[in-house]
Amino acid sequence: MQLNGKVAVITGAASGIGHGIAKRFAEAGGRVCIADLNLEAAKAAAAEIGDEKVAIAVGMDVANEAQVQAGVDAAAKAFGAIDILVSNAGIQIVHPIEEFPFEDWRKIISIHLDGAFLTTKACVKYMYAQKSGALIYMGSVHSHEASPLKSAYVAAKHGILGLARVMAKEGAAHNVRANTICPGFVMTPLVERQIPEQAHDLGITEERVVKEVMLGETVDKQFTMIADVAEVALTLAAFPTNALTGESIIVSHGWHMN
């Protein structure tokens, strides 16, 4: 799979899964816009990938419509097109629902779901005009499954799945496809922070959180790797037809099987 100069806006791409996807896209001949709340980290990530002909950085709060539009416009101005969106920015906060602060609920929903909506709205203006594009949403196994302590996250990830399916239908007339990647637990800073939090809230050891909660339903007790997710993202970005649209691709070592 090759991208042949296609331009991707990738949110939350200064680190973790987003950064892994950006690097893989650049390796495959793509040009990438590293969009992140932390502009300095985004600049460093872009510099690691290549010069300004290959990678640029923009500061972006994905829950701020003006910042989203400005960042997407900057990428289009720099590269001349917007071919791919990877809506990846996200956070995690875990609590039992009776202790879940409403402000934290709203923060998770806003970053995940409002962010996916706003970046889609900004990017499709360019994709529709050029009659081509790929929308890739970062869902989760929690787009299909539920886990204790994650009411906001599970609700947001289910919502992203629905948004992607709507965009597969709306985008079809414009040759724009939409798909969701649904990873299992990927060992990133986001997941590492969850281990002691869940150990505390569930009253079990951190080792049990990893073995029983995070990896207990996998077929081989292995974490999903960033490289696995990046390879699936490349396949979706480079797929040559609309035959593959509206789908959720689960990358979870068999935790959830459709």
What pLDDT, in 10s, does the model give residues 215-245?
A: 988 988 888 999 999 999 999 999 999 999 9
| pTM, full prediction | 0.92
Q: Are 72 and 119 in contact (CB under 8 A)?
A: yes
DSSP secondary structure code for residue 225 in this structure: P
d(CA 207, CA 213): 10
Kindly state the tokens that stand for 118: 């706003």
Sequence-separated (6 or more) residues with CB below 8 Å from residue 84: 3, 6, 7, 8, 9, 25, 30, 133, 134, 135, 136, 237
d(CA 186, CA 96): 22
How confident is the model at residue 216, as a pLDDT?
87
d(CA 22, CA 13): 7
How confident is the model at residue 26, as a pLDDT?
98
Q: Strand 31-36 and strand 7-11: pairing?
A: parallel
CA distances from 79 to 71, 75, 167 (A): 12, 6, 24
Token pair 């987003």 in the structure block, residue: 18
- Domains of the chain (ranges, CATH numbers): 7-184+225-251 (3.40.50.720)
How confident is the model at residue 197, as a pLDDT?
87
Mean pLDDT of 92-105: 95
pLDDT tens by residue, 174-206? 999 999 999 988 888 778 888 998 899 889 999
d(CA 221, CA 223): 7
d(CA 64, CA 41): 19
How confident is the model at residue 213, as a pLDDT?
86
Kindly state the tokens that stand for 100: 């879940």
Mean pLDDT of 51-67: 98
- Quick one: pLDDT band at residue 54, thresholds 50, 70, 90? very high
How confident is the model at residue 220, as a pLDDT?
87
Sequence-separated (6 or more) residues with CB below 8 Å from residue 239: 1, 134, 177
Helices (H), 110-244: 115-130, 151-171, 189-202, 206-208, 226-238
Average pLDDT, whole number, for the chain? 95
pLDDT tens by residue, 109-162? 999 999 999 999 999 999 999 999 999 999 999 999 999 999 999 999 999 999
CA torsion, ordered 45, 47, 51, 53, to nearest 10 deg: 30
How confident is the model at residue 57, as a pLDDT?
98
Q: Are 29 and 4 in contact (CB under 8 A)?
A: yes
153 is catalytic: yes
Q: Are 143 and 113 in contact (CB under 8 A)?
A: no
pLDDT for residue 252 is more than 90: no
How confident is the model at residue 106, as a pLDDT?
98
Q: Catalytic pick from 126, 128, 137, 153? A: 153
How confident is the model at residue 174, as a pLDDT?
98
Sheet of strand 55-59, all strands in order from the earlier edge strand to the far edge? 55-59, 31-36, 7-11, 84-87, 133-138, 176-183, 248-251
